[in-house]
């Protein structure tokens, strides 16, 4: 581990210990100081960002990517406003999740506590640097930020401004750290920093996330890869099905909760597929269909990869299935466990679909686009977990916490082995 990395990681760990016990007020105050500092020093940020944009141009980055990278004063003000919104959210730390008095009189409480040090690995957009730091700070966590090298100048200034701002508050300035270095090595160091980093959250494309999951010895929360399905059941209201399909695909094609495949029950294929193809074509969507879809119109032939891929574009795969169970089997085989929707009038069909589809979110007669921390009312979101441990689906502030059991007695002693089943009391096994 390089000295540079060890230095920031230890600083983050130390800051995390100071930050964890702080109540809400000083954390909110610190967030507002950060927001003000970002606005008052916007010129510095825009100047540094210009260097990143210039290098990106020389490097031949696409205009789309350059636009995601660019910060102007208006965008900096929007970032600052987002920080103020985080300050306005309730503090998850200290919430009593469970609590009761045990038969022996012990008062048992399960409290939310911060995770500690959260490592964030992300791409492109420098606003994530501030968003992620703010969410982690609000939930009592220190942050180790490893953004894209393409935004290094911007991120360096943004982190310096946040640290300068914190220096005047009760929150330790070390609570926000930028991982030094532009090489892949710094990502590897983050993934190997077990004991210094409590959790890693990679936010980006499938390849980034998979490499982190494979190589990290630090616990990882996978986010953001979405191969979402819309299944049109035999009992579907077809007008409604067309609208849900269109909204799921075209309302914002570039995001993880957009639909990438639609499945149609054979019983309604004759009427629904032609309507769907026409409606999608009218929105400029290219359909990659299997043979049974192709029978109804002009589509690009779909191969295996079309059902596995996350297009993030105006493309959608399509297939006809013979039953709800076949639709579920397709989703289990090709899906990413993000969000899958059924359109049906049948209570029985919706019950079966919800029970059998093993995804973070299941939508019934609604667009897949609603799987979102904002839409769910979380107020903020650090990403959408597609794994089963710890957090599944949109992650708000509570998902950035762990828990602690506290029990209070007055000299309570344990007598007898209690009613332990398969406990660690099994000889520390």
278-307 residues near its own copies, rule: CB under 8 A: none
Total interface residues for its own copies by CB under 8 A: 117
Q: Which is nearer to its own copies, 74 or 422 (CB)?
A: 422
382 binds its own copies (CB under 8 A): yes
Q: Which stretch binds its own copies (CB under 8 A): 51-59, 249-257, 287-295, 300-308?
A: 249-257
Nearest-angstrom CA–CA distance, 348 and 267: 17
Residue located via tokens 């490499």 = 211
Question: Which lies closer to its own copies via its Cβ, residue 147 or residue 289?
Answer: 147
Residue of 143, 84, 112 lying closest to 402 (CA atoms): 112
CB 178 within 8 A of CB 126: no
Strands 300-301 and 286-289: parallel
Which secondary structure element, helix H or strand E, spans residue 114, and what is its range? strand 107-114
CA torsion angle for 120, 123, 124, 125 (degrees, to 10)? Answer: -30
Is residue 229 classed as helix, strand or coil in its secondary structure? strand
CB of residue 56 vs its own copies: minimum separation in angstroms? 15
Binding residue for its own copies (CB under 8 A) from 119, 174, 204, 289?
Answer: 204
CA dihedral 8, 14, 18, 21 (to 10 degrees): 110
Name residue, tokens 């309604």: 268
Pairing of strands 393-395, 383-385: antiparallel
* Binding of its own copies by 74 (CB under 8 A): no
Residue 381 makes contact with its own copies by CB under 8 A: yes
Single out the segment in contact with its own copies by CB under 8 A; choices: 151-159, 163-171, 239-247, 297-305: 239-247
Among 1, 6, 17, 96, binds its own copies (CB under 8 A): 17
Using the rule CB under 8 A, which residue among 92, 174, 224, 289 binds its own copies? Answer: 224
- Given the complex with its own copies, which of 300 and 364 has the nearer CB atom? 364
Check binding of 223 to its own copies (CB under 8 A).
Answer: yes
Q: Annotate each residue in 126-165 with x if it binds its own copies (CB under 8 A) or - if it does not, as one string.
A: -xx--xx--x------------------------------
Q: State residue 288 phi and psi, 5-degree precision.
A: -105, 100
**Strands (E) located in 10-62:** none
Tokens of 409: 């007695």
Contact call for residue 20 and its own copies (CB under 8 A): yes
Q: Which is nearer to its own copies, 47 or 97 (CB)?
A: 97
Residue 260 in contact with its own copies, rule: CB under 8 A: no
Q: Which residues from 176-195 bind its own copies, rule CB under 8 A?
A: 194
Selected from 310, 315, 326, 346, the binder of its own copies by CB under 8 A is 310
As measured in angstroms, the least distance from the Cβ of 37 to its own copies is 19
Choose which of 39, 108, 279, 314 interacts with its own copies (CB under 8 A).
108
CB of 257 closer than 8 Å to CB of 397: no
The only residue of 149, 169, 346, 402 in contact with its own copies, by rule CB under 8 A: 402
Cβ neighbors of 145 (< 8 A, separation 6 or more) are: 120, 122, 129, 132, 133, 155, 159, 176, 177, 178, 179
Is 236 among the residues that bind its own copies (CB under 8 A)?
Answer: no
Nearer to its own copies, 290 or 399 (CB): 399
Strand partners, 121: 146, 202
Three-state DSSP state, 237: coil
Instruction: Give the integer Cα–Cα distance in Å for 290 and 264.
Output: 11
Gyration radius of the chain's alpha carbons: 24
371 binds its own copies (CB under 8 A): yes
Nearer to its own copies, 56 or 128 (CB): 128
100 forms part of the interface with its own copies (CB under 8 A): yes
55 near its own copies, rule: CB under 8 A: no
List binders of its own copies among 323-362 (CB under 8 A): 332, 350, 354-356, 358-362
> Distance between CA atoms of 138 and 278, rounded to whole angstroms?
48
Tell which one of 146, 203, 249, 288 touches its own copies (CB under 8 A): 203
């Amino acid at each position: 581990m390089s000295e540079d990395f060890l230095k920031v990681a230890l600083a983050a760990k130390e800051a995390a210990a100071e930050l964890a016990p702080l109540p809400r007020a000083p954390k909110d105050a610190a967030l507002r100081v950060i927001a003000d500092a970002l606005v008052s020093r916007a010129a510095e940020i825009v100047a540094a960002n210009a260097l990143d944009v210039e290098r990106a141009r020389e490097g031949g980055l696409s205009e789309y990517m350059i636009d995601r990278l660019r910060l102007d004063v208006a965008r900096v003000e929007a970032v600052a406003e987002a920080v103020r919104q985080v300050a306005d959210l309730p503090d998850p730390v200290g919430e009593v999740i469970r609590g009761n008095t045990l038969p022996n009189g012990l008062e048992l409480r399960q409290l939310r506590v911060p995770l500690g040090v959260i490592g964030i690995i992300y791409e492109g957009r420098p606003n994530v640097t501030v968003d992620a730091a703010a969410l982690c700070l609000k939930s009592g966590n220190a942050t180790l930020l490893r953004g894209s090298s393409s935004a290094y100048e911007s991120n360096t200034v943004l982190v310096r401004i946040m640290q300068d701002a914190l220096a005047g508050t009760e929150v330790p300035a070390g609570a926000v750290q930028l991982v030094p270095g532009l090489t892949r090595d710094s990502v590897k160091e983050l993934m190997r920093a077990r004991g210094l980093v409590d959790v890693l959250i990679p936010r980006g494309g499938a390849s980034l996330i998979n490499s982190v999951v494979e190589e990290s010895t630090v616990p990882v929360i996978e986010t953001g890869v979405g191969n979402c399905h819309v299944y049109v059941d035999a009992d579907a209201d077809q007008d409604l099905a067309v609208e849900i399909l269109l909204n799921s695909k075209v309302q914002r094609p570039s995001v993880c909760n957009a639909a990438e495949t639609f499945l149609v029950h054979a019983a309604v294929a004759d009427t629904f597929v032609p309507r769907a193809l026409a409606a999608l074509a009218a929105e400029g969507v290219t359909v990659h269909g299997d043979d049974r879809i192709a029978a109804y119109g002009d589509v690009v032939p779909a191969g295996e990869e079309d059902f596995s891929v996350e297009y993030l574009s105006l493309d959608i795969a399509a297939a006809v299935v013979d039953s709800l169970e076949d639709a579920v089997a397709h989703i289990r085989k090709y899906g990413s466990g993000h969000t899958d929707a059924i359109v049906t009038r049948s209570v029985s069909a919706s019950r079966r679909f919800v029970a059998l589809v093993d995804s973070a979110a299941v939508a019934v007669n609604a667009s897949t686009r609603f799987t979102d921390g904002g839409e769910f009312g979380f107020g903020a979101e650090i990403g959408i977990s597609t794994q089963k441990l710890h957090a599944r689906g949109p992650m708000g502030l509570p998902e950035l916490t762990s828990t602690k059991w506290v029990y209070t007695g007055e000299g309570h002693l344990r007598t007898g082995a209690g009613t332990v089943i398969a406990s660690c009391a099994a000889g520390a096994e």
